[in-house]
Amino acid sequence: MKRTVMLVCAMVLAGSVGFAGAYFTAQTSVPENVISAGTVAVTAAPASEAISMENLAPGQPQSRVLTVTNTGSLPVDVSVTEAKRAGITEFYNALVCSVNAGGQSIYEGVLAGMQTAPVRLVPGESAELEFAVTIPAEAGNNLVGDYVKLTLYVDAVQAP
C-alpha cells in the first residue's frame, strides 16, 4: 500500500511538471543591422588667400567672398575666427572688418580678435561670407606700407 501511494504521488508530480512547462514559441531574425555616427565636415573656397588685399587705403574698404560648404552629413553652425601670423601689430590692430552672410551682418568690428556669429548649414548647403576690410579714415601716415599676414579658421559645430 505504501508503494501504491508513492507511485500515485510520483505520477501526479510528473503530470503537473509536464503541464507547467509546455509553451509554444517562435523566433524570427532581422539581419544586417548597421548603426553609424554622422559626420561634421566643411570646406572653404578659395582654400588660401581668401581675403588677401593689396593697396588698401584709409576709408576705402575692399571686399572678398569666402564660400563655406557643409560636406558632412549633419547640420552645423559655422563661425570664422582669425589669427595673426606675421606683420605689423599696429596695422593689424587698426584694421576694421565687417562680415555678411546672406545679407545679414555676422560681424562688425576690428579684425584683430574677430569671431563671427554662427551660420547654420544643412548637409550640402553653402554660404557666401563677404568680408569687407578697411583702414579707418582717420588713420595716420604711420600705417603706410604696413602689412599683416593672417589665417582664417572656419569652425563647424554640430547644430542642436
Q: What is the 3-state secondary structure of the chain?
A: CHHHHHHHHHHHHHHHHHHHCCCCCCCCCCCCCCCCCCCCCEEEECCCCCCCCCCCEECECEEEEEEEEECCCCCEEEEEEEEEEEECHHHHHHCEEEEEECCEEEEEEECCCCECCCEEECCCCEEEEEEEEEECCCCCHHHCCCCEEEEEEEEEEECC
pLDDT of residue 22: 80
The full set of domain ranges for the chain reads 42-158
pLDDT of residue 12: 57
80 with 114: CB under 8 angstroms? yes
Closest CA to 64 of 50, 78, 76, 47: 50
Q: What b-and-e string marks burial along 28-41, b requiring 16 or more CB atoms within 10 Å of the CB? A: eeeeeeeeeeeebe
CATH 3.30.70 fits 42-158, yes or no: no
- 90: CB partners within 8 A, 6+ apart: 142, 143, 146
Q: Which residues of the chain have pLDDT under 70?
A: 1-21
pLDDT of residue 13: 54
pLDDT of residue 140: 84
In angstroms, the CA 25 to CA 54 distance is: 80
pLDDT of residue 60: 96
